[in-house]
Amino acid sequence: MGDRPGAECRWRAGVPAVSEAAEFAVGFIGLGNMGAPMAHRLTDWPGGLVVCDMRPDAVQPFIDAGAKAAETPAELAENCRVVSIVVLDDAQVRTVIAGPDGLLRTAKPGTVLAVHSTISDRTAAELAAECATRGVEFVDAPISGGAPAAQRGALAIMVGGSATAFEAVREPFGRFGSLVIHAGEVGAGTRMKLARNLLHFVAFTAAAEAQRLAEASGLDLAALGKVVRHSDSHTGGPGAIMLRKTTAPVEPDDFWFPILGHVRDLGEKDLSLALDLASRLNIDLPLAQRALHDLGDGLGVGPGPLAKEHS
């Protein structure tokens, strides 16, 4: 299940019976680059860990560490109260949950199936409805932080599902995540992950634009990268301004207005200077131009004089 669709899991072993007590067994399907370090954090889970993956070499280290292994998702679900799923895409998730040897063949009412893969929120809603017909809880629980955070138990986990399901998964998820957020109903976890990754990849695109300007200016790009990582580690990067509960315009007498107005003024100044430099170097910076135009409105305080000057 780790990297290819339609795969079955290997090995078969007995596992403790499902219990409503705290020491319930946890299942883990998909032991790839992300799944393996997450599952390793559960090898000493009090109720036992059951793993499932198509590749014997992925499963064996978990058997050596004391985990049990199941041949198929259906076999795994026989005795696990919570099941984490880390596979490639929507199609694999559907196969693992609702396929011929899927979890729903044997999952008992009250079992929680948690998908950590980033899938469509519509797929999450459809699978949740199918699970509900069997009395099974579904949560979409995408993760952020990458394999290094998984190894340290420091992932951010965004959970979409019922309050009951969230309570069931909070403790096992806390083994591989240092921030476990209940984002809301099913699908909310996925929507939060998509918003988070929107920022991530737009920022990557902005970083590429910044590098073009730096390179044209004759700067050392590796040194620039060091400066960016150093300063972001102190300022928090873009997340530092994500403190309000709304994107509505900020009233002039609001606590946030002078703070965000100051951020806008600094940003417009620096963006204007960067765009002036780019013009002299004959470098096109479309993201910088858009940022100068949109920064004030995005912060909720409206454009400043420099943005109006360049509009």
Write out the catalytic residue numbers: 193
Side-chain half-sphere CA neighbours of 295 within 13 A: 27
CA distance 42 to 27: 9
Q: Mind giving me the DSSP string for 97-126? A: HHSTT-GGGTPPTT-EEEE-S---HHHHHH
CA distance 6 to 182: 31
Beta strands in the chain (DSSP E): 26-29, 49-52, 68-69, 82-85, 112-115, 137-140, 143-144, 155-160, 177-184
CB-based burial label for 36 (10 Å; 0-12, 13-18, 19+): buried
What separation in angstroms does the CA of 75 have from each of 6, 83, 93, 164, 261?
16, 12, 16, 24, 58
First to last CA, the chain: 52
Per the DSSP assignment, residues forming a β-bridge with 49 are 26
| Contact between residue 113 and residue 139 where contact means Cβ atoms under 8 Å apart | yes
| Contact between residue 228 and residue 234 where contact means Cβ atoms under 8 Å apart | no
Q: Which two tokens stand for residue 43?
A: 């090898």
- Which residues, in sequence order, are CB contacts of 283 under 8 Å at separation 6+? 212, 213, 216
What separation in angstroms does the CA of 140 have from each of 21, 97, 148, 228, 277?
24, 13, 22, 33, 46
